[in-house]
Amino acid sequence: MLASRPDQGRQADVPLGVSGSTGVWPNLYDAVIFVLVVGVFVLVAHGFREMNAPAAQLEAVPVTLDLARLPEYALRTTLRMFAAIICSLIFTFVVATLAARSRKAELVIIPALDILQSVPVLGFLTFTVTFFLQLFPGSVMGAECAAIFAIFTSQAWNMAFSFYQSLRTVPRDLDEVARHYRFSPWLRFWRLDVPFGAPGLIWNTMMSMSGGWFFVVASEAITVGNTTVMLPGIGSWLALAIQARDLQAVLLAIAMMAAVILAYDQLIFRPIVAWADKFRFEQQAADSQPHSWLYDFWRRSRVRPHVIRAVGSVADRISLLPTPLTSPPAKPKFGTPPRTGERVWIALLLVLAAYALWQIVLYTRTTLGLTDLRIALFDGFLTLIRVLVLIALASLVWVPIGVWIGLRPRLATSLQPVAQFLAAFPANVVFPVAVVAIVSLRLDPNIWLSPLMILGTQWYILFNVIAGASAIPTDLRDAAALFRISSWSWWRKVGVPAILPYYVTGALTAAGGSWNASIVAEVVSWGDTHLRAEGLGAYIADATSAGDFPRVVLGIVVMALMVTTCNRILWRPLYRLAENRFRLE
């Protein structure tokens, strides 16, 4: 059942081995938590003050490779990424819930997410940098918002897809309980939807943080036409180091990035994973649960019961606010004919889409012709082949490994920061090795630059498969072991049905991320040495650098068209299969 469950051999509400935990005076654990909280607030306040500085400060204090400034750069980058992840969570809760609860909203939101996740970061920056700079004239905040928005575009889509998939696969018995007790939409959301979707959403949030690191260079070292913005951060440090061919500076950035990832893994994500383990859907406690030293500190503190009581009281009051006591609409069965209202809505959407397409044609036809369209389509086809081959290879490698890790909670907890670091590893860092190897061995860039596209996005598959395997109920695992199901039968009857919804989310996002990564993977450089692979990513990157907005628009439209078509032909049918046949009941 979906509810809080105690850890093995310990009470849920009594801290570990601490008597009198409900006493009045704080203890040592309270002091540690207090110091950590105050430290975080001080760092956030310092970073926010720097973000509000005058724009002239970017020129007065330019980005340098001074080692003493690297910690400050790391703080600025981390604050941007957490600002983006908070925006992504809000976006996920609103948009994914609307898509799962309203058929009309779903018809708009899901195709929009398909398109938006395929739009490259440079595509967003091309049209948003000027807007944000004009929104905050004379302040660094304009450039900061542009960078945060760029990071947001690399984080939000897979989180939204993950939560949407969870809402669509809520077990029917839990759905019936919510209906029977006439949960308000607000109460159902916090008591059922969020707890059920928490395991997958948390792993995808960690993946999104890593995805933000992957595009940190593009978001902090922004060049669009004649506009160049270098924000203090690890990304701009890396861009400067690559331009200067300073390998030592690149290694220092990697070391600092690893330290930051380890810090927020220990202080934020590992406690959240340990706390969210109680929301696993099962009727039998697992043999082992993930642990966190900070979460144990929190459970041992004397302030904790009072904080929980206060927060719970506020939450209860909010949940009792007058709202319509209606259950969410019944999920339509796929294959049933749409009703008249739905037909009208679909027709309206098609008219709007046709109008938008016509406006794009009007915008681009003054400077572009059929030859440009043919070139963009051909480049898109080359990138499509790369994406499909890379996703297939990554699935063959990471699905078995992800299931093996996910079935071992202690191992998953231990490998959590390692996986985050690998997922965060920017492709730009590999450019020196790739360029030198390709030039020295006289290899074909069209083939050997391709692996850079999957370098950061393959982890979407691994993280989601780990989340899916971790969510397999313990009683189901025990039943499979009791009946001695063989390896092949286990995969067919237990493994694949359990992980398929998670895998589809991961593979779909990895495919979209690979299209996005083609922008930096098909055009690489190391100092004065430049390599280029034919493809749509290189087409958009060249157009962005030249400030050729019509060709940027054409490239983005072709990429969105190909990604959406691929999703409709391959990934959406798999979503429906996972939703209708493979769901926990």
414 in a domain, yes or no? yes
Domain assignment present for 148: yes
Q: How far apart are CA 394 and CA 386, in angstroms?
A: 12
Residue 284 lies in a domain: no
Spatial neighbors of 295 by CB under 8 A, at least 6 apart, are: 270, 271, 274, 275
Residue 352 lies inside a defined structural domain of this protein: no
In a domain, 239, yes or no: yes
Length of the chain, in residues: 585
3-state secondary structure (DSSP) of residue 169: coil
DSSP for 516-541 reads HHHHHHSEEEETTEEEE-SSHHHHHH
Q: Is the separation of the CB atoms in 494 and 579 below 8 Å?
A: no
Three-state DSSP string of 450-472: CHHHHCCCHHHHHHHHHHHHHCC
SS3 for 441? helix
Nearest CA-CA partner of 183 in 347, 380, 319:
319
- Residue 243: inside a domain, yes or no? yes
Asked whether the whole model's pTM tops 0.85, one would answer: no
Query: What is the rounded end-to-end Cα distance, in angstroms, of the chain?
Result: 10
For residue 309, being part of any structural domain is answered with yes
- Cα separation, 360 vs 560, in Å, equals 13
Q: Could you tell me the CA-to-CA distances from 331 to 107, 170, 183, 336, 574 in Å, in that order?
A: 13, 11, 17, 11, 17
- Domain total of the chain: 1
Q: 563 lies in a domain?
A: yes
Chain Cα centroid distance, residue 267:
19
Q: Which amino acid does the sequence have at 493?
A: K
User: Nearest to residue 575, comparing CAs of 94, 89, 210, 99?
Assistant: 99
What phi, psi does 262 have (nearest 5°)?
-60, -40
Mind giving me the DSSP string for 191-220? IIIHHHHHHHHHHHHHHHHHHHHHTHHHHH
pLDDT by residue, tens only, the chain of 585 residues:
444 444 444 444 444 444 444 455 677 777 877 888 888 888 888 777 777 777 777 776 788 888 889 999 999 999 999 999 999 999 999 999 988 888 888 888 887 887 777 676 666 666 677 788 788 887 888 888 888 888 888 888 888 988 988 888 888 888 888 888 888 788 888 888 888 888 878 878 887 887 777 677 777 877 655 667 788 888 888 888 878 888 888 889 888 888 888 888 888 888 888 888 777 665 545 555 677 788 888 888 887 787 778 777 776 676 666 544 334 444 544 444 556 766 777 677 677 777 777 777 776 677 777 888 889 899 999 999 999 999 999 999 999 998 888 888 777 777 767 776 776 666 666 766 777 788 888 888 888 888 888 876 788 888 888 878 887 777 777 777 777 777 778 887 787 888 888 888 888 878 877 887 787 778 877 767 778 888 888 888 888 777 777 888 788 888 888 887 887 888 778 877 776 665 555
Domain range for 93 is 28-279+289-329+369-580
